[in-house]
Structures are given as structure tokens and as C-alpha cells.
Structure 1
């Protein structure tokens, strides 16, 4: 694999209605309705809004036979209105529903975690090899008839694995690991290959971006070993809403798109589904614009493990590198001092002159030629001023360094400088590739200096900056290369907004926590409470609990599984009823919705995790 130069992964073509997927087709955009699939009028209206926003596939939840049968009415109504969008049925727990849905939808999504296996209970199960083989035969016996129905109706399928709904069988044999998630998928794919059924799309999703990226990378490698090239559907489940949902989605999906992986994406926001489409479109367009870029002559470091990366070994320079959390550097050239106290940068690059008012807990960076050794300040040099850097006596120096400037001679000299942090710089069309190439070259040269990534933009819209900066940082974070981030935006956005995005990227990549994290699903026809208003209420009551993870899930499909590493969970249990969790354990069941947020706060207080707002 080429880590430095962008190109699309080769995948097979799958016909889904009149909108083919994979191969040379463009990366498709899709969303999912959150209306009842028995409500034809509501589903049709929402599907139209998704298509009008640019959606190319529309997915609908199909809990039972009635919902599956009503897909026919929804399909007819859309065609009569001139909307030819392919419909995708989303099936969990009941394979008979998938059989029916295959007659009325252009694609059917099944979940290996609950297609034949019972709903997981997090119990350890013991199997002999013979017993395990019998379990796989049960899958084949049930799955092959479904494939035959799909063949007869020219229906594609999606094998959609969710980290949150792995079966007890898989968890017991493989553990909660990327290998287990991949095997859950491969069990079904091997049957498809044996049955000569090629109309298959695959997805592996998680709310944890690290798990999602690592697992999809492993899936691609596993398929290649077994001679498969099925197209991939990408998504981060339960990404949330607002800024957090956009950053989390762009970081995870963007990391894979940047490596050429992905043939269709869904950005799962806890918002109206049509709002997902513009975000997805911006992300796809931004990454694919790298196509045919100028070649980057990067060479992979021998010790780098793409499938199972660990944090790159660095020495610490003050609080940067080593075992320290990644830092945030910001700029304040205009003299303004707007800060969000939750997201105060670790360092401020002030350029030629310190601001009139300095904050004591922030370190200030000045250009090396004007730095006079002021208290709590540090000099910065560019690669042309190595002589000045060589003579610097500062305990912390910053060196702005582009990939092409790192010569063998400079690398040898840098190895003697233990007080230097490198700021990776790129103006390339594929700056991610150049940033990666610089770090690989440092690794190969034996340079263990911390690296901060300088990302330059001119954005006036906060959503655009969220998507672009997260997409540019994703692979760098998941590769284990990030000792810090420096977003320099010359648009009209305030400094505090830019700072918040930088901290949001680090949190979405699970390498530095600075606020409460919400794992909230986008909602679907299974959701039995008002998801958006509930999220707003939970956030209002808990947003000051920095470092706490809270899951807000519409139903039990992914509920306790997807939020397994959350501290607390709020899960739909029935019409207007909520169950509360402490990690995987259900503490209270079927609480009236109107009491649930207050009960959640009581649960957090009872476990000593609540602090009063200041």
C-alpha cells in the first residue's frame, strides 16, 4: 500500500437499482429515515428530502414483516413522484424479515451479530471446534436461501457488522477485538463467494473511531488475502450531533477515504437525516480532490505497522512528546485574546511580537530571530535557519519543517538536538501524504523528536473547517504520529472556534479528552422517543462533566454494546420508556421518559461522578 499518494482502492461493481456502486463509480452518499416504516407518507416525504439534498440511497428500518411489506408501497409512491432512488432495508434479529424485504428493496442490510445468533448478553460461551463448526453451518443453512431470494429479485445485500452488536459467540471466541469483528463479517462473505453471489457491499462500523479505522483496515487486508474485493460502506455509528458529530465522522471516515478505502458513506448525525448529506458530500469532495496530485516520494519506515499501529516513540521536550498528551498550538497575530476556558491552547504562536496580555498557563512562541529569552516563551525557526537553531540555548525550540527539506544531513544533525519539536509543514494538494512522509523519514533516520502538525486553511464556515481539518488529521492520529496539532486559519472564524475544533479532533481520535463525550445514535424507525430533544436535555445537565462518556441510544440494537466503554447509558426500551446503564449493566428498566434525565443524573451522583456546575 502507498501511504503517501492518493488513489482509490479497486473494488468490484455492485448494481443497486439504477445506481451502481464500487469499481469506477463515484463514492455514493446515503442516509436513513427515522420515521416509522409503516407510515408510507412520512417515509416518502423524508426520502424525498434526503434525495433533494443529494442522497443517492435511502435506508429504512424494517423491524418486522409488516414494515418489510410496506417497502413496496413506499417504493411505488417514490417512483410515481419521479424519485428513482434505491431503497435499502435495514434488518436486525429476524432473518424472515430479510427474505420479505428482498422482494421490495433494491438492497437489504443484514447484521451478522444477530442474523442467526441470538441477541448478545455479554455471556462467555464455550465451544469445541466441532460445536463451533455446527454454529457456522446454522448460518449457512439460513443464509443461502436468503441469497437465492436476492438472486431471483436482483437484490443486493449489505453485510453490516456493528461493533456494538457482536454476538456472544464471536465475543467468546475472539474477544472484543478487530480480529473478532472482521471474522464476524468474513463468515458471511465466504458463504457469498462459495454461492457465487457477488452483489455484496460490506460495512464495519463503531462509535469508537480507533476501533472503526483499525478494523476496516484489517478487513481490507483480510479480503485481499482471500482474493476478495467487495466495495465498502463507511460510517462512524453514534457520531452525535453538531460539531462533535461532524468532527468524529470526518476523522474516522476521512482517514479511510484518504487511503482510497470506501465506495459509499453515511455520516450518522443525531439530526434530521437530510442534514447528513451536505456533510458527507463536503467530506467526499474534499478527499477525492487529491486525485492525480503531484507524486510524493515517501518511503515507509520498516517498523511501521499499518494494521496495528502504536504511538510513535518520541522523547519529551517539556510537555510535548514522550508520554505526554498531544498539545494544541494556536496563533494570535491580530492581538485578540478570545479564549474558551475549556479549550485554552497549550502554546500560542505570536510571531514577531507578544500580545499585550499574556495568559500565565500558556506558553508563547516567537520567531527565533526576535526571541530574547522572555519568561515562558520559546523560539521558532524554519528549516533555512538551522544555524540559529544550532546556537539556541532555549529548553524548547520549534522547527518548521516540510518533508522535502529533511535531508540526510539535517536528520543527522537533528539527532544531536534533544530540545527541538518539529512542526510538520505542507502546502501540497495531498498534505496528509507529505505529513506522513516526513514522519516515516524521521522514523527511518532514527529521529525521535515530537511532531506537531501544522494545518493551514482559509475557511469562513465552521463546518467546512471541522470537516477539512479532521479529514487531514485522521490518518495521522490513527497511525500514532500526533504529538500535537496547530490549526492556522486565515478565514473569518474566531480564534476560540478554531481552538475548539483542534481539541475536538484530539478527543474524537481518543488521544486527549477535554469535555464530556456523547455517543448518540442518529435515530431510525426503531427510536421510541424524541432523540434530538433528549440529547439537548442530557447535554444541558451534563456538559460540564469533563471526561465523562455518556451514551444516548434510540433502541437496543446497538445500545449497551456500542456504548460499552461509555460510563453511563440512556437507551430506549419501549414507547416512551428508557433504561439506564452503568457501562454494560442495566441499572433501571422502563423508566418513564419524562423522568429519565433526572434519574440519569441521580445515577451519576450515586456513583460519585457528578460535580455541581460552577
Structure 2
């Protein structure tokens, strides 16, 4: 697609360079309004059995007090839908007016009942009127239209009830549960996700029902971001109302990985002004979700009025599908190489071999050897504090040019130049040099870097609107046919560890999803007088987050990926305990994706691109999958992890962990 015609079609956000919230219609959900000019709403979902009224109420209260403004509760059958009234009444009796949302899969009659009780219902168009059999069906236009008429007949009663009772609706598409009909016509694509929602949306609009929020969730952050962008574009092109968006990365996992993955997907969209309500899906107690969502959302309170960024006239990037920016290969950067991790240890002087463990390399003094893992730094930036010992094979050192030019070993160390030093220097490394520049210097740098095959640019920005500022610099490079590898560098010197994790995932993760960036570098703890141990805490965090961001953006797989749902009242086993148990046994399997789902609703569909799946199918019973294929049914839970490992072993993807 030509860049000019592509630019004319990019309407998914107000501006690529100036922060501006997308204007939507307001949707009233009880005493909360989503969209319009209202602040972004934070929500979460209970994990207690919906039939446990008091347990659900107590958990709702914990969630509300943690910052949750909407509470979603599963209603898999009529009895749970009926019990929503008991839960709601008890909450109101205790003085809590937080709106409730019924989560519906497969059971339209439960949705119709719930819509008369709670303030909002969520339906999944992939399974509301369809049963997924993973069948490929060849539809004629006529037979496809007949299917749409069948859906209309099944869906229309709910629309009328919602309209009559003032109940809002979320049309929540999930990547992994697209219907066979959608899959047959559009494939497993962002476009298929969008069309799945639009089928139901058209019915709503024909009935003049507009109290609708839409979501496009996926556990794959690239697919998730592309689908939301495409949805906004299609709403605009199709003459639909600008409905509010519910943002979320489904089955993000737990701990640092879950937070980073959520931030990569959600943060990328928030940066472009998309999103009106947010749910972070963690395999943890739900009261831990709202603070993470709030930390992501709060970042934009002061974003309006950021330093100006040159407008994009021609946009050379397709935002609806992944394509990595073309770059020349310089050493192991660019070309077809995976993005590299540069860890900044420049604030530490006289570093010891044993302290290299903080960047993934372990010195074994009794053997006088190095041990490294799949998350060992590729490069370390030491600035003016050079390493006094021999580094392990596979890791290289970058020094400030002023230090490197006086070094005895200029062959195995690499210089980092400022733009001025680079322009004036007569001395360069013969194969690999680094140019550290700010986005505001990009136009001045282009004449000096174009055509170089011995140079990697480390690109940073002082603009609070960091991701768009860096993206704009990439646009300049692409427009001027500059193909040197570029490593985005982000700096967080006055931030908490949680903020560093979430902000780096947003600022660099967004670039990686757009195919921009040949590595990552994070700087924090920039005070020269910071105590040594605290400095290493930051180094270790930055290093871990760097690999986490690359993994979450699907650009470098260096560890096992767990696609685990956040649990709900449908869950048939203790998800947190089971996830921890599976992680303990399998977390050495680099690049293997394992889906861990609490019930059949979230598997196999929701773990669409997992290599293997562990899904609750009954009390104490587990069904094991290879991709979307059932391998073993009704495995006793006490044997299920061993059986899962045996399947992985038979597929040749198992390696024994090192002692």
C-alpha cells in the first residue's frame, strides 16, 4: 500500500502527535458515565462463585475500595443471573452504589434476565448466538445473510429489554472466540474481530439503541492494538456513532509479566487518545487490578499541553498490521535480528564480576567461568565507568566516546557519541558505533547517518508525550530512507518501580507493536549519589522490564509465556495456585506459550495462539490441549500437570531444567 493513500485512510485517532482524547457519545451505566467528556473509568471482575452472595459482596467491596468504579460479575446460567439481585440489594444496603455488569457467554436467557437487574450486560458476539466447533464453512452471500437473520432473532429480545430498562451493553469481542462464521469469511484477524462486533452493533442501531460500549480483546498485544484501531476506523467509515471503548488485554497473566503485557496493549491505545474504560486482567485477586489500571490512566491527567511535536504529513506505517521497519544489519542489530537489550549500568563505578548477575550473567568464581541465561543483556552501557574485567562471550560494552578514545582496547569496546562529537570526530570503531541523540536532533542527524553501515542510533526524548515523539522521529527516518538500526531509550529518574514498569511498557511497547525499534534501553535512578544497592535494584528492574516488554510485544521470546485468565465465578480450580504450580515446572521453556484457563468459556478459544492448554472442564477435572486440539479429557487435577509436561515432551518442546 502506498504511503500517501495509507495516510488518507488513517482516521483511528485525532492526532498522531498531539495528545487528544477521542470524542465519543456518553453511555450512562447507573451513576457512572463512560465516554463523552468524562474521565476514563476503571473496572474489574469478581472471582467468587456468583451463588455465594456474601462472598461476592465482600469481594465487591474490596474491589470498590481499591478504586474499582464498575464491578463485573459472571452469570453463566439463569440461577446466577437471578442471584445478581441478591448481590446488588446487599451492596446497596451497605451503602455501595457502584454499578454492576453481568458477564454473559452462551446463555441469552440469562442475559435477558440480568438486563432487568443490573446496570450493564456484557455479551460476547462470538458465542452469544453461536457454538464454536472450529469448522470451516463456505458461505454464499445468501446463506451468510440467513445466518445474520438468525443472530438478529436471537439477539433482538436483549436489545429491547436493555432499551426498556435503561441498561447499557458492552459488545465484547474476544480474539479467541470468534464464531466459525466469522472465521470462515474473515479468518483469525483483527478485521474478523471488528466485523464480529459490527454484526451486533448494526442490529442495535436499527432498533435505535445506542447505550453501547465496545471492546476488542486479545492476549496477543499486536492483534489487540490493531483491532481497536481498525474498529475506530470502521466505525467512522461506516457512519456509526462514536461509541466508547473498553480497553483490555485478555489473559495477561500475573506479576510483572501481566502488568507489562497489559501496559503494552492498553498504554499504546491510551497514548493516541483511545479508551474510555479500562480493565487490567491479572491472575491475581481482583482488588489488585484497579490500582494498575488507575496508574495507567492517571498518566494522562496532565498530558494535554505537552511540548509540541511536528505534525505527520505522510504516515509511512500501516497501523493495522505488523511490519517491521526495514533496517540494515549492523553487528547483531537490525536486519532480521531480534531486538537487543542494552542495560545501563553507567551510574555504578568499580563494578565487580559477581554484580553482573543483575544483568543476567552469573560469574562462577570456583570455575572462573560465566553462566548466562536467555535473559542476559546483549550490551551494557558503562558511560565513563568502564568494566575492569573480561566480560562473558555474547555481551559487549558501550562506553562514552571520550572514555573509549583513551581506552587501550578499542576493538572489543564500542563508542557512544553525542551528535556534536559524531559530526566532529575523525575516529570511529571500524564496525559498530552508537549515536545517542534526542528526537529534537533527528533532522540535524539525518545527513550524517544516512547510508552508514557501522552505526546504531540510540534515540530518546524529553517530551512527556514520549511514544508519539519517538514515533515521529522514526517517521522522519523512514521518509528520508534512513535505514540504520534504532534503539529507543526511555528515562524515568523520579518514578516508582511500578511506574517504570508500566511507562516503559507503554512508551517502547507501542513502538515495537508498530514495527519500530531494534532494541530497548531503560535509564532510571539517575542520581549520582544514590546508594549502590538501590542503584542495582533499579538496574535489575530495568533489565527485567526490557525483556518483558520485548516478549509482551511479541518481538523477542526469551521466556515461557503464560496466557492465564484472571479467574471469575465460572472458574473450576484455584487459578493462582495452579498457575504458580505450572510456572514452577515449566518456566525454563523459552518461547513456549501455555494457556491456563479456568473453564471452557475461556478455552480453547481465548488461548487462541497458545502452544498447549490446561483448561478446567469439571470439578477436579482438566482437559489438555495442543493448540486448539483436545489431547486428553477429564484428567484428574492431581495428575494434570504431569500429563501436560508429557504432551510437551512428546512434541519435542521439552528440555530439562538446569540444576
In the TM superposition, what whole-angstrom CA distance separates every residue of 1:208-242 from its partner, at most 9, and x where no partner exists?
Answer: 11111111111110001122200000000000000
CA distance in structure 2 between the partners assigned to 1:423 and 1:300 by the alignment: 25
- Among candidates 378, 398, 402, match of residue 365 of structure 1: 398
- Among candidates 562, 582, 587, match of residue 518 of structure 1: 562
Write out aligned runs for 1:203-214 (5 A): 203-214=215-226
Output the aligned Cα RMSD.
1.5
Given that residues 440 and 461 in structure 2 are in contact (C-alpha distance below 8 angstroms), is that contact kept between their aligned partners in structure 1? Answer: no
In the TM superposition, what whole-angstrom CA distance separates every residue of 1:333-364 from its partner, at most 9, and x where no partner exists?
Answer: 20253333432111111111312234232111
Q: 1:411 aligned to 2:446? A: yes
Alignment partner, residue 359 of structure 2: 339
Alignment partner, residue 427 of structure 1: 462
In the TM superposition, what whole-angstrom CA distance separates every residue of 1:171-213 from its partner, at most 9, and x where no partner exists?
Answer: 1111111111110001111111121111000011011111111
Instruction: Give the gaps of 5 or more residues in structure 1.
Output: none
Q: Residues 366 and 358 from structure 1, CA distance in 2 versus in 1: closer, same or farther, beyond 3 angstroms? A: same
Alignment partner, residue 144 of structure 1: 156
Q: Residues 420 and 269 from structure 1, CA distance in 2 versus in 1: closer, same or farther, beyond 3 angstroms? A: same
CA distance in structure 1 between the partners assigned to 2:597 and 2:566 by the alignment: 9
Q: Which moved more, 1:26-35 or 1:372-381?
A: 372-381
Alignment partner, residue 186 of structure 2: 174
Q: Which moved more, 1:362-371 or 1:252-261?
A: 362-371
TM-score after normalising by structure 1: 0.97
Q: 1:274 aligned to 2:307? A: no
CA distance in structure 2 between the partners assigned to 1:256 and 1:60 by the alignment: 26
Alignment partner, residue 144 of structure 2: 132
In the TM superposition, what whole-angstrom CA distance separates every residue of 1:524-581 from its partner, at most 9, and x where no partner exists?
Answer: 0110101111001101110111111111011111211222321111001011110001
3-state SS of the aligned residue for 1:369? helix
Q: Which moved more, 1:260-269 or 1:575-584?
A: 575-584
In the TM superposition, what whole-angstrom CA distance separates every residue of 1:139-189 from its partner, at most 9, and x where no partner exists?
Answer: 112222211111111100000111111111111111111111110001111
Q: Which moved more, 1:264-273 or 1:325-334?
A: 325-334
In the TM superposition, what whole-angstrom CA distance separates every residue of 1:504-538 from its partner, at most 9, and x where no partner exists?
Answer: 00000000011111110000011010111100110
After TM superposition, give the deviation of residue 459 of structure 1 in Å.
5.6
CA distance in structure 1 between the partners assigned to 2:467 and 2:514 by the alignment: 12
CA distance in structure 2 between the partners assigned to 1:358 and 1:140 by the alignment: 70
3-state SS of the aligned residue for 2:632? strand
After TM superposition, give the deviation of residue 300 of structure 1 in Å.
4.7
Alignment partner, residue 51 of structure 1: 64
Given that residues 287 and 471 in structure 1 are in contact (C-alpha distance below 8 angstroms), is that contact kept between their aligned partners in structure 2? Answer: no
In the TM superposition, what whole-angstrom CA distance separates every residue of 1:88-112 from its partner, at most 9, and x where no partner exists?
Answer: 0000101111110000110000110
Instruction: Give the gaps of 5 or more residues in structure 2.
Output: 1-12, 361-371, 527-533
Q: 1:529 aligned to 2:564? A: no
Alignment partner, residue 233 of structure 2: 221
TM-score after normalising by structure 2: 0.91
After TM superposition, give the deviation of residue 38 of structure 1 in Å.
1.2
Given that residues 295 and 499 in structure 2 are in contact (C-alpha distance below 8 angstroms), is that contact kept between their aligned partners in structure 1? Answer: yes
After TM superposition, give the deviation of residue 387 of structure 1 in Å.
2.6
Alignment partner, residue 442 of structure 1: 477
CA distance in structure 1 between the partners assigned to 2:426 and 2:183 by the alignment: 54
Given that residues 53 and 86 in structure 2 are in contact (C-alpha distance below 8 angstroms), is that contact kept between their aligned partners in structure 1? Answer: yes
CA distance in structure 2 between the partners assigned to 1:12 and 1:529 by the alignment: 40
Size of the aligned set, in residue pairs, is: 612
CA distance in structure 2 between the partners assigned to 1:300 and 1:242 by the alignment: 40
Q: 1:374 aligned to 2:410? A: yes
Given that residues 300 and 440 in structure 1 are in contact (C-alpha distance below 8 angstroms), is that contact kept between their aligned partners in structure 2? Answer: no
Alignment partner, residue 122 of structure 1: 134
After TM superposition, give the deviation of residue 461 of structure 1 in Å.
4.1
3-state SS of the aligned residue for 1:503? helix
CA distance in structure 1 between the partners assigned to 2:494 and 2:46 by the alignment: 31
3-state SS of the aligned residue for 2:338? coil
After TM superposition, give the deviation of residue 4 of structure 1 in Å.
1.8
Q: 1:16 aligned to 2:40? A: no
Q: 1:479 aligned to 2:483? A: no
CA distance in structure 2 between the partners assigned to 1:579 and 1:284 by the alignment: 37
CA distance in structure 2 between the partners assigned to 1:92 and 1:306 by the alignment: 31
3-state SS of the aligned residue for 1:455? strand
Given that residues 254 and 287 in structure 1 are in contact (C-alpha distance below 8 angstroms), is that contact kept between their aligned partners in structure 2? Answer: no
Q: 1:597 aligned to 2:641? A: yes
CA distance in structure 2 between the partners assigned to 1:354 and 1:255 by the alignment: 36
Given that residues 525 and 538 in structure 2 are in contact (C-alpha distance below 8 angstroms), is that contact kept between their aligned partners in structure 1? Answer: no
CA distance in structure 1 between the partners assigned to 2:426 and 2:122 by the alignment: 60
Q: Residues 364 and 170 from structure 1, CA distance in 2 versus in 1: closer, same or farther, beyond 3 angstroms? A: same
3-state SS of the aligned residue for 1:96? helix
Q: Which moved more, 1:486-495 or 1:221-230?
A: 486-495
Write out aligned runs for 1:100-115 (5 A): 100-115=113-128
Write out aligned runs for 1:147-158 (5 A): 147-158=159-170
- Among candidates 592, 606, 610, match of residue 650 of structure 2: 606
3-state SS of the aligned residue for 1:435? helix
Alignment partner, residue 350 of structure 1: 382
After TM superposition, give the deviation of residue 7 of structure 1 in Å.
1.0
Alignment partner, residue 286 of structure 1: 299
CA distance in structure 1 between the partners assigned to 2:224 and 2:65 by the alignment: 29
Alignment partner, residue 28 of structure 1: 41
3-state SS of the aligned residue for 1:306? coil
Write out aligned runs for 1:182-221 (5 A): 182-221=194-233
Q: Which moved more, 1:247-256 or 1:286-295?
A: 286-295
CA distance in structure 2 between the partners assigned to 1:210 and 1:142 by the alignment: 32
3-state SS of the aligned residue for 1:586? strand
After TM superposition, give the deviation of residue 306 of structure 1 in Å.
2.0
Q: Residues 515 and 309 from structure 1, CA distance in 2 versus in 1: closer, same or farther, beyond 3 angstroms? A: closer
Q: Residues 84 and 421 from structure 1, CA distance in 2 versus in 1: closer, same or farther, beyond 3 angstroms? A: same
Q: Residues 459 and 568 from structure 1, CA distance in 2 versus in 1: closer, same or farther, beyond 3 angstroms? A: farther
Q: 1:231 aligned to 2:251? A: no
